Amino acid sequence: MDMSQYLEIFIDESKEHLQHMNTILLDLENNTEDLNLLNEIFRIAHTIKGMAGTMGFTQVANVTHEMENVLHKVRNGEIPVTTVIVDVLFECFDMLEDHINSLESTGQESSTDASPLVKKLQDILINKGSLSPTTPVEEKEESEPEETHIETTTSADGFSLDLSDIGDVLKEAMSQALHPLKIRVTLDENCMLKAARSFIVFNTLEQSGEIVKSHPAAEDIEDEKFERSFEVLYITNAGADIIQHEIANISEISDVYVEEVESEEIVTTSVAPVVEEEIVEVKEVEEVITETVVTPAAPTPAAKKPVKRGKETEDKKQAKDKAKTSKTVRVDIDRLDNLMNLVSELIIIKTRLEVAEGTGNRSNMDDAVEYLERITTSLHDAVMKVRMVPVERTFNRFPRMVRDLSKDLGKNIQLIMSGEETEVDRTVIDEIGDPLIHLIRNSIDHGIENPEDRASRGKKEKGTVALRAYPDGNTVVIEVEDDGGGIDPEKILGIAQDKGVVSDREVETMSDKDIINLLFRPGFSTAEKITDLSGRGVGLDVVKSKIESLNGTVEVDSELTKGSKFTIRLPLTLAIIQALMVNLAEEKYALPLNNIKEITTIEKASISMVQNQEVVLYRNKTLPIIRLSDVLEVPYNEEPEEKNEMIVVIVRKGELEAGLVVDSLIGQQEIVIKSLGRYLTGAKTIAGATILGNGSVALIVDPNQLL
Amino acid sequence: MSNIQEYVVFKVNEESYGIDIKYVENIEKMLPITRVPYTEAHVQGVVNLRGNVIPVIDLRKRFSIPREDFTDESRIIIVNYKEYTVGMIADSSSEVFQIDRDNVDPAPSIKAGSDDFVREIGKHEGRVVMLIDLKKVLGIESIEAE
């Protein structure tokens, strides 16, 4: 059966379920006793399993199936809820999300193998709530050699090597009277060049035998992607003790453990699991069939949920090109009804206008036109509302992020969110995610102090990051506030001067606020120690330019030792802006109002040339003058006579200002931005086009490109 | 299986050109065109087509034929190629030919410098129609190369 038509529904549904699961998992972590939460996760896992099974996505089905098993026991009180379980459940969530994202972009399940995770879940079942005793748990001290691997497919003797796929090789080796050996080499704690040292070990081994497999993989060892020890499967004709002796003679090796591979180990590991798996699958298919009948009906395809696209990795980016699903908005049916009503009104008014025209009654006509105006305004509002989605969609990934980050950094941090229901345009939602991640990471990494520092400052040990959204007139405000150390202007200034971001002369006139705003200059990053999270040189300037590209602004308030607050202000929608319409010869252009500082007239005589650039002295500042008609290559039928007074529109971009010379002003107007599309490239100074009242097209000038 | 394909036929400088009907969305009378700066010479500008802003190219300029004033006969042929919707200005367009693939020959590459806009020559009731390569005429390759 062709399932492709259900793929989109499956992805939408799964994403919704996963989002829900994420929220519940976070709750569960703080509230391990709540049986309702467990039931809810169980229900979600069950639903996803059913759907995935029907669609034939075995990896997803496998993971959810095992989750279900574990959750079932937990629900029955046979296994207590521990951090181990919650962590594993989070891992399951990540794995499922990975698969769903992959399905969305490529139509295939992700290549990530789910079996280690499945094994982990099975371990939990067997060991009643903990991972198998020999399995290293990430948090443990790295005193014993076994605990240095992160992978957890550990066999009973503590080796992480998976022999199942090389059973044939081993059997053959044994038939030729060679010894397959499992060797674990632990490097000295102070070993500087781990890759080089392990290379020597490999070299030594290869002189008297063959390395069949290593854990971690050879490339990872080369890249030093291991802690202190690694394991190899080695086939040799020499004895185990000789090999052990040889390796132990290499310097900087703290421990060598050699064990011969038993013949029965090969047999059991290579054949048995496969059979087992098949049985599981068969069983599952049966279950799935019965389940799907019970699963509530899928939503109408017309009302689809918007989908995010993963853009972290390069290959995902490539996958994006052949993305299978398109951007959609899930719309409240009430809003559609409202839209429907307004359109019926339009039809009624059309008839009314026709009648009024026929009778020639002037006042009837005027009434009708006025009514038409009211309807179009409401219609416009209604359509805009359809495009609005709650910021919740962006916000709900943050609790998890804060949880993970604070764990990594050893800080105790709570995230308080409010105003998740605030609505913004669909196009904005996609764009604000990254800047917000950046700001929240900054707050956690640089803002909130270590627990000790907080204690010494007399603050609560638990740091707070607040994320708020609220509408404010025609804009939406999003705040990221922390009660951390605040921003130290002196420190900022020091760094800015070191990095040459600011000149000494500039500094003299700067207030503390100006100094803090240096944060937003390119090439500025204050992280003292480079962490995984932030401090990679790309800084707040990226956030600022992103927000500005959305026609928004970002501000920062900070009080030393009390905390800091970043305020993002975004327009409700990107599609409609206030603009100043101007004339250039016969052509009309729109200038976005939020770029315009003021409009003035300038005497032609006051213009002087500095380095081939026309400038005027305006309010004691030199203002570069740009002749818009030259920039836009406006054709004049006849050479315009130079007027003595020129109309100048002063535009700004950050600190930069320039005066644009125009022929005449038409007025302020609300315009709908239309894209010029991809066919017309190269017109960088043109931000788009808009359709005027008379049906003709006017171009929108992007002043940012002129400065 | 019939070998007959339908082509929208239009005229530029008295010569007949054809374009596969599957690319043609509709044919419009001339609309007010707004010039766009920094575009290639053959791009005439943009038009408002029922609320959508559509770029328009001039086939005369594209085929290096001197421009004459637009007339009542001038038409904008709106085509869809991949994700691009573009208007093409022709001197006139009023016919659709059904041409048997047997009556289509590859174009002789004689005209140097004509950029191979014409891919094939079709014959229909004693008339010769130059079938254009839309991808080349629109210059999609140079756009996607950027």
pLDDT at A412: 86
For residues A318, A322, A323, A325, the Cα torsion angle rounded to the nearest 10 degrees is 170
pLDDT at residue A150 in the model: 39
Tell me the sheet residues that pair with A598. Answer: A650
- Fold for B4-145, please state it: OB fold (Dihydrolipoamide Acetyltransferase, E2P) (2.40.50)
Chain B hits for A680, Cβ within 8 Å: 36, 39, 43, 46, 55
Q: Dihedral sign, CA of A362, A367, A372, A373?
A: positive
Token pair belonging to B105: 């020959």
* Tens of pLDDT, residues A461-479: 888 899 999 887 767 899 9
Given a cut of 70, is residue B39 above it in pLDDT? yes
Domain layout of chain A by residue ranges: 4-133, 145-261, 333-390, 392-571, 576-706
Helix (H) or strand (E) holding A150: none
Domain A392-571 fold: Heat Shock Protein 90 (3.30.565)
Highest mean pLDDT among A138-142, A212-216, A343-347, A501-505: A343-347
Burial class of residue A307 (count of CB atoms within 10 Å of its CB; 0-12, 13-18, 19+): buried
Q: Rounded CA gap, A395 and A178, in Å?
A: 59
**Is the peptide bond between A299 and the residue preceding it cis, with omega within 30 degrees of 0?**
no
3 state SS of B31: coil
What contacts 24+ positions apart, CB below 8 Å, involve A457-460?
Answer: A457/A561, A459/A483
Question: How do A475-482 and A563-571 pair as beta strands?
Answer: antiparallel
Q: What is the pLDDT of residue A547?
A: 83
| Contact assessment for residue A411 and residue A451, using Cβ atoms and an 8 Å cutoff | yes
SS3 A251: coil
Q: What is the pLDDT of residues A221-246, one digit of tens each?
A: 777 777 778 888 787 777 777 777 77
Q: Which position has the higher pLDDT, A635 or A681?
A: A635
Dump pLDDT digits (tens) for A591-611: 988 888 899 998 888 888 888
Percent of chain A's residues with pLDDT above 70: 79
The whole-number pLDDT of residue A319 equals 42
Helices A263-294 & A167-175 angle (0-180, nearest 10): 160
Q: Which residues of A are catalytic?
A: 46, 68, 442
| A523-527, A678-682, B138-142: which is most confident | B138-142
CATH number of the structural domain A145-261: 3.30.70.1110
Q: How far apart are CA A404 and CA A151, in angstroms?
A: 19
Tell me whether strands B75-81 and B24-29 are parallel, antiparallel or unpaired: antiparallel
Could you give the CA distance from residue A397 to residue A405 in angstroms, rounded to a whole number? 13
Question: What average pLDDT does this structure show over B101-111?
Answer: 77
- Which of B37, B48, B85 lies nearest to residue A697, judging by beta carbons? B48
Query: Measuring CA to CA, how many Å separate A536 from each of A490, A526, A539, A540, A549?
Result: 21, 10, 8, 11, 22
Using an 8 Å CB-CB cutoff, list residues of chain A that contact chain B. Answer: 587, 631-635, 674-686, 688-689, 691, 695-699
Nearest CA in chain B to A689: B53
Query: DSSP 3-state assignment of A265?
Result: helix
Q: How many residue contacts between A and B have a Cβ separation below 8 Å?
A: 72
Q: Which residues of B touch A688 (CB under 8 A)?
A: 53
Half-sphere exposure of A202 (CA within 13 A, CB side): 19
Residue in the block written with tokens 């904008």: B76
Higher pLDDT, A26 or A294: A26
Q: Which helix (H) or strand (E) holds A114?
A: none
Radius of gyration of chain B (CA): 15
Q: In the CATH hierarchy, which fold is given to the domain comprising A4-133?
A: Four Helix Bundle (Hemerythrin (Met), subunit A) (1.20.120)
Q: Residue B11: beta bridge partners?
A: B16, B92
pLDDT band at B9 (very low <50, low <70, confident <90, very high): very high
Which amino acid, residue A424? Answer: V
Cα B135 to Cα B119: distance, rounded to the nearest angstrom: 11
Q: What residues have CB less than 8 Å from A696, skipping those under 6 apart?
A: A588, B32, B34, B48
Pairing mode, strands A253-260 and A209-215 = unpaired
- Alpha helices, H only, A503-569: 504-508, 512-517, 540-549
* Residue corresponding to tokens 């290959």: A315
- Give contacts of B36 with chain A, Cβ < 8 Å: 676, 680, 683, 686, 699
Q: What is the pLDDT of residue A472?
A: 78
CB environment A105-123: b (16+ within 10 A), e (fewer) = bbeebbeeebeebbbbbeb
C-beta of residue A432 within 8 angstroms of C-beta of residue A382? no
* Structure tokens given for B100: 């048997």
Q: For residues A270 and A264, what is the distance between their CA atoms, to the nearest angstrom? A: 10
**pLDDT tens digits, one per residue of A515-547:** 888 778 776 665 444 444 444 344 677 788 788
Cβ proximity of A665 and A580 under 8 Å: yes
- The 10 Å Cβ neighbour count of residue A454 is 20
Per residue in A419-468, pLDDT (tens digit) is: 888 888 877 887 788 888 888 888 888 888 888 888 888 888 888 899 99
Predicted confidence band of residue B76 (pLDDT cuts 50, 70, 90): very high
Q: How many CB atoms lie within 10 A of CB A469?
A: 25
Name the residue ranges covered by the structural domains of chain B.
4-145
Binning chain B into helix, strand and coil, the percentages to the nearest 5 are 15, 50, 35
Calculate mean pLDDT across residues B49-77: 88
Measure CB to CB from residue A698 to each of B34, B37, B83 and give the nearest one: B34
- Going by pLDDT thresholds of 50, 70 and 90, the confidence category of residue B17 is very high
- Which letter, b or e, does each residue of A316-336 get, where b requires 16 or more Cβ atoms within 10 Å of its Cβ? beebeeeeebeebeebeeeee
Of chain A, the percentage scoring pLDDT greater than 90 comes to 5
End-to-end CA distance of chain A: 58
Identify which has the larger pLDDT, A562 or A571: A562
Res A148 pLDDT > 50: no
Pairwise CA distance, residues B136 & B141, whole Å = 7
- With 0-12 CB in 10 A as exposed, 13-18 as middle and 19+ as buried, what is A474? exposed
Option in A684, A689, A695 nearest B46 (CB): A689
**Given the DSSP bridges, would you call strands A253-260 and A179-187 parallel, antiparallel or unpaired?**
antiparallel
Interchain CB distance below 8 Å, B39 and A635: no
Choose among A674, A695, A699: nearest Cβ to B36.
A699
| Nearest residue on chain A to B31, alpha-carbon basis | A696
The first and second tokens of residue A152, run together, are: 């957890």
pLDDT in tens, A279-316: 444 444 444 444 434 334 444 443 333 343 333 444 44
Task: pLDDT band for A192, please (50, 70, 90 cuts).
Answer: low
Residue A397, pLDDT above cutoff 90:
no
Distances (CA, A) of A146 to A20, A100, A136, A257, A259: 37, 34, 7, 11, 14
Answer positive or negative: Cα dihedral of A273, A277, A278, A283: positive
Please choose, from the candidates B95, B101, B103, the residue with its C-alpha nearest in 3D space to the C-alpha of residue B126: B103
Contact A662, A649 (CB under 8 A): yes
First to last CA, chain B: 40
Residue A575 CB neighbour total at 10 angstroms: 17
Residue A178 class from Cβ within 10 Å (0-12 exposed, 13-18 middle, 19+ buried)?
middle
Q: Which amino acid is at A407?
A: K
**Identity of the residue in A677, A685, A697 whose CB atom sits nearest the CB atom of B34:** A697
> In the beta sheet, which residues pair with residue B16?
B11
Half-sphere exposure of A144 (CA within 13 A, CB side): 11
User: What pLDDT is recorded for position B111?
Assistant: 56
* A150 or A610, greater pLDDT: A610
Contact call for residues A616 and A632 (beta carbons, < 8 A): no
Reported as a pLDDT band with limits 50, 70 and 90, residue A503 is: confident
Which residues in chain B are closer than 8 Å to A587, comparing Cβ atoms? Answer: 34-35
Task: State residue A154's pLDDT score.
Answer: 42
Domain A576-706 sits in which CATH superfamily? CheA-289, Domain 4 (2.40.50.180)
pLDDT averaged over every residue in chain B: 86
> What percent of chain B stands above pLDDT 70?
92
Which residue do the tokens 């005793």 mark? A133
Interchain pair A698, B143: CB under 8 A: no
- Separation between Cα atoms, residue A556 and residue A122, nearest integer Å: 49
Per-residue pLDDT at A322 exceeds 50: no
Q: Is B128's Cβ below 8 Å from some Cβ in A?
A: no
- The per-residue pLDDT for range A88-115, each reduced to its tens digit, is 888 888 888 888 888 877 777 777 777 7
Strands A413-418 and A463-472: parallel
- Residue contact A697–B86, C-beta within 8 A: no
Tokens of A144: 């014993």
Q: What are phi and psi of A76, to 5 degrees?
A: -80, 0
Mutant choice from B28, B30, B33, B35 vs A, greatest count of A C-beta within 10 A: B35
- Residues in A touching B84 (Cβ below 8 Å): 677-679
Q: Do B53 and A686 touch (CB under 8 A)?
A: no
CA angle A431, A557, A465 (to 5 degrees): 65
Confirm or reject contact between B146 and chain A (CB < 8 A): yes
Q: Could you tell me which chain A residue has the CA closest to the CA of B38? A: A683
**Contact residues on chain A for B138, CB-CB shorter than 8 A:** 679
Q: How far is B37 from chain A (nearest CA, A)?
A: 6
Give a three-class secondary structure readout of A346-376: HHHHHHHHHHHHHHCCHHHHHHHHHHHHHHH
